[in-house]
Structure 1
Amino acid sequence: MYFVDRAVAVIKPKQPFLDWLNQLPDTDMVDLTLDSLRSDCTAILLPEFVDPEEGVAHIDEISEQLFKMELASWDEDESLWPKDLSLKAFWEWFDVEIHSTVIDSVDDDITNSPASEL
């Protein structure tokens, strides 16, 4: 096992995200609950930090990109996305857990590929 020179943030949708999903046209997510939505969330690697507020500040800097990524993972039609993708809206729609220790349990090299640019 190896320490990785990153921190990690787990992006957890809140009720406004679920409400948005449920109002999408042709939605077939009748059984989707907030608990199920929050059970398998996106994890984002962050730069290492000394103070947890540094991790929060980094999330603030990339919040619009994260917001768009989360929306696109469910519906790529931007016309159906909320109009307000502000920092304030991001924090209303998502909880973020920040963890300072990342350990790689796999001996193989990590393969990087760019995330789509939104």
Structure 2
Amino acid sequence: MSHLTDIDAAPMVNRGAIILRPAQPYLDWAASLGGGGPLPSADGEQAVYLVDEWENDRSQQRILQRCFAELFEQELGAWCTDESLWPKKRDLATFKKWFRVEMHSLVVDVSAEPLELVES
């Protein structure tokens, strides 16, 4: 018995997705904090952020411009909750240096389970 819906009949979700992969500045920052645990990996599992859909490159860039600061803080806070240790400069250019930004416009729900929002 399959746990997935028929992919041809799977609904598309009215969202785009952003995946952030840590680049060298983020990895260097994380390593500088110590902690002894394994460092983040650019090839490892990453959070997927759902954002508004976009129609073209310009609207895609507007979405990134609107949400990058919150995403930057989310990723920094996931590694270190002491905001005094976060980089002082957190503009879009720095964000793009610290992360490989993947933006995906097609989000398809192939699960047979109903979609639920979980409060954090």
* Superposed pair shares fold, TM > 0.5: yes
Identify which of 97, 102, 105 aligns with 1:97: 102
Unaligned runs of 5+ in 1: none
2:16 maps to 1:7? yes
Superimposed CA distance per residue, residues 53-89 of structure 1 (whole angstroms, 9 cap, x where no aligned partner): 3223211111111110000111111111111111221
Partner residue in 1 for 2:27: 18
Once the two structures are TM-superposed, the CA of residue 8 in structure 1 deviates from its matched residue by: 1.0
* TM-score normalised over the length of structure 1: 0.82
* TM-score normalised over the length of structure 2: 0.81
Q: SS in structure 2 opposite 1:16?
A: helix
2:53 maps to 1:44? no
Over 3 Å counting, the alpha-carbon distance change for 1:50 and 1:87 in structure 2 is same
Partner residue in 2 for 1:53: 58
The structure whose Rg is larger is 2
Identify which of 40, 62, 67 aligns with 2:67: 62
State the Cα RMSD in Å: 1.8
Partner residue in 1 for 2:7: none
Counterparts of 1:63 and 1:78, CA distance in 2: 17
Once the two structures are TM-superposed, the CA of residue 114 in structure 1 deviates from its matched residue by: 5.2
Over 3 Å counting, the alpha-carbon distance change for 1:53 and 1:112 in structure 2 is same
The alignment covers a number of residue pairs equal to 111
Partner residue in 2 for 1:32: 39
Is 88-97 or 15-24 further displaced after alignment?
Answer: 88-97
Pick the structure with more strand per residue.
Answer: 1
Unaligned runs of 5+ in 2: 1-9
Identity of aligned residues (%): 32
